[in-house]
Amino acid sequence: MSNVPSDLKYAKSHEWIRVSGDTATVGITDHAQAELTDIVFVELPAVGRKVKAGEACAVVESVKTASDIYSPVSGEITAVNSAVVDNPALVNSEPNTGGWFYKIKPSNAAELGALLSPEDYKKQIGG
């Protein structure tokens, strides 16, 4: 049973976003890490890069495959989590907290409103 915290918003492509003031933190969901399993490598975007909502901007690799991570919103990358680069297993053990990927300054507030609520995301993943 996946942990879907109620204070986050979700993208259909299994990223979460936590908004705090004018920046937001992005990671992948507990469901996503459980599906991927054994994360062995994380590639993060450069700080300062401008990304569009739905743009592939990070890569997470399990033993078996490489998967793109899509930005839930448009904006500028303001920070990345070097801890997951050094220890990719953190994405498996703490997907919603210590395993975050990057911080972004959203450029279009309307995009946040279009993301899934915890309830809708729970429905999407069937539980």
Partner 1 sequence: MLKRTSLYAAHQKLGGKLIEFGGWEMPVQYTSITDEHLAVRNAAGIFDISHMGEVTVSGAGAVEFLNRTLTNDIRKLTSGQGQYTLMCNEGGGVIDDLYAYQLSDGVYFLVINASRIADDVAWLQSQAAKFSGELKLTDASHQYAAVAVQGPRVPEFINAVIPGASISAKRVNAVTDLKKNEVGGFHFEHGGVIVSRTGYTGEDGFEIVGSDEAIQHVWNKVLEMGAPYGLKPAGLGARDTLRTEVCYPLYGHELDENTTPIEAGVGFFVSLDKGEFNGRAVLAEQKANGTKKKLVAFKMTEKSAPPRPHYPIWANGASVGEVVSGTQSPSLNLGIGMGYVPPEFAKPDTKIEIEIRGKRFAAAVVKKPVYRKV
Q: Does 29 bind partner 1 (CB under 8 A)?
A: no
Give the Cα separation of 119 and 96 in Å (integer): 16
Amino acid letter, 64: K
CB nearer to partner 1: pick between 20 and 65: 65
Site stretch for partner 1 (CB under 8 A), options 58-66, 70-78, 97-105, 116-124: 58-66
Amino acid letter, 106: P
Q: How far is CA 68 from CA 23, 44, 65, 73, 120, in A?
A: 22, 10, 10, 15, 22
**Contact, 28 vs 91, CB < 8 A?**
yes
Length of the chain measured in residues: 127
**Total number of residues binding partner 1 (CB under 8 A)?**
11
Site stretch for partner 1 (CB under 8 A), options 16-24, 39-47, 73-81, 96-104: 39-47
Site for partner 1 in 59-118 (CB under 8 A): 59, 61-64, 66
Minimum distance, C-beta of residue 42 to partner 1, in the bound complex (Å):
9
Q: Does 55 bind partner 1 (CB under 8 A)?
A: no
Q: How far is CA 77 from CA 13, 50, 62, 115, 117, in A?
A: 19, 6, 24, 19, 23
Q: Does 38 bind partner 1 (CB under 8 A)?
A: yes
Minimum distance, C-beta of residue 117 to partner 1, in the bound complex (Å):
28
Binding site for partner 1 (CB under 8 A): 37-38, 40-41, 43, 59, 61-64, 66
